[in-house]
Structure 1
Amino acid sequence: MKAKDFVAGILTGVAAGLIVNQAFEKMNPNTPAEQVLNSVKDAFKKEGPIDGSWIVMKPEQFTNNVLSMEVYRGGISRIRNGELEQFEFAANAETGTVVELIQK
């Protein structure tokens, strides 16, 4: 095999990989922040319907006395027993684990 043919094969493989990756991203437009929000919403839906939700798409630094990490901040609202309940949360940007939940 000639070196020129080998390099052409590698470049073709890389180009095909890039095209497949872009196609996959278009088919699955959920960003990490949206995935975190969906996870939190699913947890709340186990207790009843949700009235509304939001999330900040840009992660921010979160620190408590021990830990420091990037988090997404968001909120959930629902009607329970005829009254509006609102919650704000911070979820680890990498794992989606809720690290703070505050009822407003």
Structure 2
Amino acid sequence: MNWKTFILGVTAGFAAGYATKQVLEQSGPPSPEKILDVVKAAVKKDGKIYGSWILMKPETYQKYDLDYEVYKGGITRSINNTQEQFEFVADATTGTIIDLISKK
């Protein structure tokens, strides 16, 4: 066996595997961490984020007689030295924020 051919084959296989992984990650549903990043970016516009959390297991959620698979989480931010807490509900398949509830 020619070593150059072997190395070329291994390199091509690695490149194809990596490209396939990237395509699958982009086409699949967003991860809970990605959804949390999106929510934090939206809430961060108005104040500094102090803490955040997200449940890693999707749950069933109903709004307006529609059922969704969602991730639930929360964020604490500070505006004018006052802390605010929010809970959010985000669609597990699209990452869209369905509810953002202020906890006072």
Superposed, 1:4-43 pairs within 5 Å as 20=18, 32-43=31-42
Give yes or no for contact 2:54–2:74 (8 Å, CA) kept in 1.
yes
Q: CA deviation at 1:17?
A: 8.6
**C-alpha distance in 2 between matches for 1:101 and 1:44:** 10
Q: Given the superposition, is the C-alpha separation of residues 18 and 63 from structure 1 closer, same or farther in structure 2, using an over 3 Å criterion?
A: farther
RMSD over aligned CA atoms reads 2.5
**C-alpha distance in 2 between matches for 1:18 and 1:36:** 28
Q: CA deviation at 1:66?
A: 2.5
Q: Percent identity?
A: 47
- 1:93: which partner in 2? 92
SS at match of 2:49: coil
Find runs of 4+ consecutive structure 1 residues off by over 2 angstroms. Answer: 15-22
Task: Flag structure 1 segments of 5+ consecutive residues without an equivalent.
Answer: 1-14, 25-30
**C-alpha distance in 2 between matches for 1:61 and 1:88:** 16
**C-alpha distance in 1 between matches for 2:63 and 2:15:** 41
**C-alpha distance in 2 between matches for 1:81 and 1:94:** 35
SS at match of 2:60: strand
Task: Flag structure 2 segments of 5+ consecutive residues without an equivalent.
Answer: 1-12, 23-29
Give yes or no for contact 2:46–2:79 (8 Å, CA) kept in 1.
no
Asked if 1:47 corresponds to 2:46, the answer is yes
Q: State the one-letter code of the partner of 1:100.
A: D
- 1:66: which partner in 2? 65
Q: Given the superposition, is the C-alpha separation of residues 32 and 82 from structure 1 closer, same or farther in structure 2, using an over 3 Å criterion?
A: same
Q: CA deviation at 1:33?
A: 0.3
TM-score, normalising length from structure 2? 0.69
Q: CA deviation at 1:46?
A: 1.5
1 or 2, which has the higher strand percentage? 2
SS at match of 1:57: coil
Q: CA deviation at 1:101?
A: 1.2
**C-alpha distance in 2 between matches for 1:71 and 1:64:** 11
